Structure 1
Amino acid sequence: MQISRLFAALGLSLAVCSVTFAQAINYPVSRVSLVTHSSPGGGTDVFLRDFSKQLSTVMKTSFAVENIRGGSGATAVAAVAKGAPDGSIFYGTTPTYIQTTLLSKPPVGYDGLDPMLIVFLDPELIYTRADSPHKTLADVIAFAKANPGKSRWGASNPASLERIAMERLSRAAGVKVPIVSHDGGADQMIGVLNGTYDLGIGEMQELQGQLEAGKIRLLATLSETRLQGLPQLPTAKEQGFNVVVRKFRGLASPKGVPDNIAKAWEDAARKVLELPAYKAEYTRENLTPMVLGREAARKFTTEFAAETVTSFKELGLLK
């Protein structure tokens, strides 16, 4: 009788273990590369490093961020597209990889990757150096109008959302200003700090350090409404310049990654965004969480690309 009970208990224990192991997600690789075209210190670079630091504790996998420069992101996209579809390599997505494809038509475009995850919406901020004589966005515009050829604005790479936003701002303000592109936000920042540019554009993640050090001054947000974390900062729209842009941050994979890996990332992202320390961090950086798994990310990307085509045609960048 006691032996029967022992075997019954043992069977129940094995059954429980089987269920537990069936529910557990064992990630198939021990090291994951997260690739970005952004320079070290740029917005995507910072996002991937902060995000992966949290993911490593949830997914029990090590992560490495790789900065692959060149081609306004096309080189990095091509490198990831050639990677193995085993969950070992991903590209940090922003609107840039869509815009580069539409404007530059590289051999491997955004559609050469498979959107796997959208994590955040990231507001764009307009800034100048702290000791600039321009105290408001209107001051910068007035200076540019009164001094043709003397004002220069900085932006990220030629096909980036930031570059397009600056072009839209110049049109909305009715002023012609040279907009100088870079391979990342960190390079642009140098130009603003040394006075080469009157304006720069970026996300809070890449501006935070210089802002806290008192080196730069924020002039506007390009969001629809004021940011919860920066209620004192007016939108460009409030200041008379009808420019609103939205930037997303996510991940894309080589094509052919199995569903269970995509699901593992979605589950991990949701857990990470609930971690108190990380929530405090991304709230401070004014990031808006928006977790979309693979199917939703694919739909979102397709719709975003269609909207971008429309915007480019309006700006005369596409026929």
Structure 2
Amino acid sequence: MFTRGIFAGAAISALLLASAVQAEENYPAPVVKLITHSSPGGGSDVFLREMVPYLQPYLGPKLVVENVTGGSGAKAMAEVAHSTPDGGEFYATTPTFIYTSLLSQPEATYKDLEPLVNVFYDPEVVYTAADSDFKSLPDVIAAAKEGRGKWGAANPASLERQLLEQMKQKTGANASIVTFEGGGDMQINVLNHTLDVGVGEVEEIRAQLEAGKLRMLAVLGDKRLDQFPDLKTAKEEGIDVSGLKFRGLAGPKNTPPEVIAAWEAAIPKLLEDPKYKKIWTENNLQEGFMKHDEYVAFMAKFGADTESFLRESGVIH
């Protein structure tokens, strides 16, 4: 019985090894660069670095994360748009690359990239320093009406900034919105009270939350977070502001069908991996897998809707 168990274990190991080798042989690029516009510690940076160890066995090639900061994502978008479409380089998509494309004149826009797949939806939260005087989102609004608030967004062209602009419009708050090139830099300014509040994802601020240095005030989404059921939404606090942040990948145009198929097969397996599922659920990420064709349609609509909103608001002409 013991000998049979040894042979069975050896057979399973050989099968797993053969599958891994086959995956590497089938995927056209030996190394895949996953590029983010976020600085180290920012939301996309954390998303990619936590995902990579669990994704690699399901995809095959070696996966590396690279931070290409500058221009609110413009530099990163241009690099991926001009890369060879061989499955070797992808950009971590968030609403930022839509906003950057619409609010500036980057070398490459979101229309120059090929949406690959979406992985998650990432709820946004408003947070402050744990030792600040703000105990709720209405406290922040009231202070901004009495004096002048200082609110932070992780990127000049981002959903976070737009949500804060909407909050100003909806409440009449008098606040300056300060932007950065990543969530890590913004956190520092919230911690040292240079900013009253910041907007980001739970995944991005988790370390400081667990250390007791930051406190969440509200969810900028349509429902409460499973891990923090007592945290109210902005709407529940009487502030009609909500946004949907997506996290996925895009590559250069003409990405080969076999590359797209490999990712479409790998991501569902990744999301069901027990160890990784524990991580992403604890980070309050919401499963948002979309295949390539679905993601292409989603991105086109999101881009068109965002452009219409920015025109109607007078932000762009």
Does the alignment reach a TM-score above 0.5?
Answer: yes
Shift in Å at residue 72 of structure 1?
Answer: 0.7
CA–CA separation in structure 2 for the residues paired with 1:247 and 1:192: 21
1:309 Cα offset (Å): 1.3
Alignment of 1:160-239 (within 5 A): 160-239=158-237
Residue deviations 1:20-78 (CA, integer Å, cap 9, x gap): 99xx6521222110001100010000111111221112222211111011111000000
Q: Deviations over 1:245-288 (max 9, x none)?
A: 00000000011111111010011001000001111111111111
Structure 2 residue matching 1:85: 3-state secondary structure: coil
Shift of residue 171 of structure 1? 1.4
Residue 248 of structure 1 is aligned with which of 235, 246, 249? 246
Q: Secondary structure at the match of 1:238?
A: helix
* Superimposed CA distance per residue, residues 118-149 of structure 1 (whole angstroms, 9 cap, x where no aligned partner): 111110000000000111111111111111x3
Q: Tell me which residue corresponds to 1:7.
A: none
- Structure-2 residue corresponding to 1:109: 109
SS for the counterpart of 2:236 is: coil
Name 1:297's counterpart in structure 2: 295
The AA in structure 2 aligned to 1:220 is A
Partner residue in 2 for 1:36: 36
TM-superposed CA distance for 1:105, in Å, is 2.3
Q: Distance in 1 between matches of 2:295 and 2:176?
A: 35
> What residue in structure 1 maps to residue 60 of structure 2?
60
Measure the CA separation in 1 of the matches of 2:288 and 2:72: 26
Q: Which residue does 1:10 correspond to in 2?
A: none
1:307 Cα offset (Å):
1.3
Residue 82 of structure 2: aligned partner: 82
Amino acid at match of 1:194: N
Q: Residue 69 of structure 1 corresponds to which residue in structure 2?
A: 69
CA shift, 1:178, in A, is 0.5
User: Within 2, Cα distance between the matches of 1:117 and 1:52?
Assistant: 15
Residues in 1 aligned to 2:311 and 2:121: alpha-carbon distance in whole angstroms: 24
Shift of 1:82: 1.1
Unaligned runs of 5+ in 2: 1-17
How does 1:128-147 map onto structure 2 within 5 Å?
128-147=128-147
- Cα deviation for residue 314 of structure 1 reads 3.2
Q: With structure 2 as the length reference, what TM-score do the two structures score?
A: 0.91
- Kindly state the Cα deviation for residue 237 of structure 1 after the two structures are TM-superposed: 0.6
2:95 alignment counterpart: 95
Structure 1 length normalisation: TM-score? 0.90
Task: Give me the whole-angstrom Cα distance separating, in 1, the residues matched to 2:257 and 2:244.
Answer: 28
CA distance in 2, matches of 1:239, 1:47: 29
Match of 1:125 in 2: 125
2:258 matched residue in structure 1: 260
Counterpart Cα distance in 2 of 1:58 and 1:289: 18
1:270-311 residue CA offsets vs partner (Å, 9 max, x unmatched): 100000111111111111111111111100100111111122
1:164 shift after superposition: 0.7
Flag as ranges the 4+ runs of structure 1 deviating above 4 A: none
- Separation of aligned partners in 2, 1:226 and 1:314: 29
Measured in 2, the distance between the counterparts of 1:176 and 1:304 equals 29
What runs of 5+ residues in structure 1 fail to find an aligned partner? 1-19
Matched-pair identity in %: 48
